[in-house]
Amino acid sequence: MSLRGPGSGGSQGGLGWSLASAAIALAVLAPVLSLGWLAAGGSLAHWSGLASNVLPSALRNTLVLLAGVGAVTLVCGTGCAWLVTAYEFPGRRILGWALLLPLAMPTYIAAFAYLDLLHPLGPAQSALRWVLGLDSPRDLRLGDPRSMGSAILLLGSVLYPYVYITTRAMFMTQPAHLMEAARALGDGPWRAFLRVAVPLARPAIAVGLGLTLLETLNDIGASEFLGVNTLTVAVYTTWISRSDLAGAAQLAVFMLAAVVMLLALERHGRARQRFGSLQRMHAIQPRRLQGGAALAATLAVAAPVVLGFGLPALHLSIEAVRRASRSGLSGALLEAAATTLAVAPAVTLVAVAAGFTVAWTARKVSTGGAWPVLRRVLSRSASLGYAVPGTVLAVGLITPVLALDYLVGDLLGTRRLLLLGSGFVLVAGCAIRFIAIPLGAVESALARLPPALEQASRLLGESPNRTLTRVHLPLLRPALVAGAMLVFVDAMKELPATLLLRPVNMETLATLVYAEAARGTYEEGALAALAIVLAGLLPVTLLARAQLNPGQQVLPAP
């Protein structure tokens, strides 16, 4: 009997898996290719006006925002990861997982909550006037929260967990003798941290920082609420407010170039990093802090949790209870919740199926089979959607979906836009954006499965497909469930792509919050915002458990 390894592919179904993987990769690439074609077909007059009136300020604001948020998350995420890894202080164990809670708070919801909280008639300024004995809002007016500084602090306080979780996983696996050697050579605790721990953790810091910057570039709600006109906001307003799809495509191409630059910087940050096996080295043991140092560490680690999750979640809870007790659940809220609970599972099903297909195909052709290089390139292309901002993806998706809509209409003899008029394009767009999440989870799980399992199954007479269903799928179930959970919650809170791809008069919980904030009726959107935050706590629990296993990949690498 000729026995092939798991990477050989074989003739039974290998071609089908490869074709399916190629189709998924091309579906992900189609919006990018369409975007370039649409931008090239636009009038130069559009670009001239955008380049002189829109692009300079939007580009400047985007660069300042990226630099500011990157600095805040780098300091906060890396510093907190080191404190909870290397030191013992009151509340350390609770704060170790509580530092992940801001991941459950979408940036636009945090901005939504803080704008209401800091409003001149809001609870913060009202309480301050009461303490000072003032009666009128005119007697005390704090600064306007709509500013670049507010946007940097808010986004940084919500997005730092991306740096924290990847960096802490690296700190937990660093051998203690390296730090001990630095201390023996005369370095103090922080000097040893900067000279030894940080350089060793640079690949993990680069991954977390890359994810943070991509999320910042994808943000539209928080930036618009806080009055910061970024490239993402400019694409949205150019398309929706000015009805200029070609101009939006040209701006989106510029954004795509910015994404490529971010990815190149992230890759450069991880370049030429090689580490030997450290399995027998003992890990860093936390050193107990006493007195003022212990109190300072507790306050330093607790501050981002309170700012990024505690205050906005508490405010949303109070406003939601007040709104529900006075007026109950509105019809618009129930309809938006029903729509969200229809769209999110559909996106999850499509994304998980596509991610599994690509991951399994890459495993089957990893060491042999026809066109292995081409298939691996196509499989890697399937994970690019996560790096493309939702607004860019939406602009690029419109043209191919419209062409497909016309083709379907001709076949059915109707002039109605069946795809654009339904939730199909929204599900497809979100699935393309989130394929990378289950793809990364399944690839990580497959890498830990020994080839001997498949070889034993084949020796017992099982076909490749029966081996997949009876051996691999049961072992991959935790990774598939984890990926599905993350996709479900991300689909629930996705705002940029949903705003641009939803059918007319269709509201999800995310777009309902956006609409209420745009109208200034913050209390009306509190229930929807709180529902999204509560759903976001599910993957936070998953990530907290994953901290116990630093080798488990939960977040997609950019």
Per-residue HEC secondary structure of 526-541 comes to: HHHHHHHHHHHHHHHH
CA distance 131 to 10: 76
Q: What is the dihedral of CA 206, 210, 212, 216, to 10 degrees?
A: 150
Give the residue extent of every domain in the chain.
1-41+329-558, 42-270+292-311
Per residue, the 3-state secondary structure of 202-258, as one string, reads: HHHHHHHHHHHHHHHHHCCHHHHHCCCCCHHHHHHHHHHCCCCHHHHHHHHHHHHHH
CA distance 238 to 446: 44
pLDDT of residue 516: 85
Tens of pLDDT, residue by residue over 205-258, are 888 888 898 889 888 889 988 989 998 888 888 887 777 777 788 788 878 887
Contact 165, 100 (CB under 8 A): yes
Highest-scoring range by mean pLDDT, 23-37, 149-163, 312-326 = 149-163
Contact 357, 24 (CB under 8 A): yes
State yes or no: pLDDT of 553 exceeds 90: no
pLDDT of residue 547: 60
Backbone angles phi, psi at 382, to 5 degrees: -65, -20
Tens of pLDDT, residue by residue over 389-435, are 888 888 888 888 888 878 877 777 777 777 777 888 899 999 999 99
Q: What is the CATH number of domain 1-41+329-558?
A: 1.10.3720.10
Tens of pLDDT, residue by residue over 169-203, are 888 777 666 666 666 666 666 777 777 777 877 87
CA distance 42 to 40: 6
State yes or no: pLDDT of 362 exceeds 60: yes
Per residue, the 3-state secondary structure of 438-505, as one string, reads: HHHHHHHHHHCCCHHHHHHHHHCCCCHHHHHHHHHHHHHHHHHHHHHHHHHHHHHHCCHHHHHHCCCC
Q: What is the mean pLDDT of the chain?
A: 80
Q: Is 1-41+329-558's fold the same as 42-270+292-311's?
A: yes
* Cα 28 off chain centre by: 17
State yes or no: pLDDT of 557 exceeds 60: no
Pick the CATH number of 42-270+292-311 from 1.10.260.40, 1.10.2020.10, 1.10.3720.10, 3.90.1150.10: 1.10.3720.10
State yes or no: pLDDT of 267 exceeds 90: no
State yes or no: pLDDT of 450 exceeds 50: yes
**Residue 109's pLDDT band (cuts 50, 70, 90):** very high
Question: 64-68, 220-224, 276-280: which has the minimum mean pLDDT?
Answer: 276-280
Question: 9-13, 52-56, 202-206, 498-502: which has the minimum mean pLDDT?
Answer: 9-13
- For residues 295-301, give the mean pLDDT: 94
**Residue 29's pLDDT band (cuts 50, 70, 90):** confident
87, β-bridge pairs: 287
pLDDT of residue 80: 94
288 DSSP 8-state letter: E
CA distance 321 to 176: 49
Contact 42, 250 (CB under 8 A): yes
pLDDT of residue 291: 87
pLDDT of residue 8: 44
DSSP string, 85-114: HHEE-TTHHHHHHHTTGGGGS-HHHHHHHH
Query: Quick one: which of 556, 546, 479, 557 has its CA closest to 168?
Result: 546
pLDDT of residue 301: 94
* Cα 493 off chain centre by: 10
What tokens appear for 374 in the block?
């081409």
Highest-scoring range by mean pLDDT, 134-148, 227-241, 290-304, 412-426 = 290-304
- For residues 260-285, give the mean pLDDT: 60
Tens of pLDDT, residue by residue over 478-494, are 888 888 888 898 899 89
Residues 6+ apart with CB under 8 A from 426: 343, 497, 498, 501, 502, 503, 506
Q: Residue 113: exposed, middle, or buried by beta-carbon count in 10 A (0-12, 13-18, 19+)?
A: buried
* Cα 507 off chain centre by: 22
State yes or no: pLDDT of 133 exceeds 80: no
pLDDT of residue 276: 46
State yes or no: pLDDT of 555 exceeds 70: no
State yes or no: pLDDT of 21 exceeds 50: yes
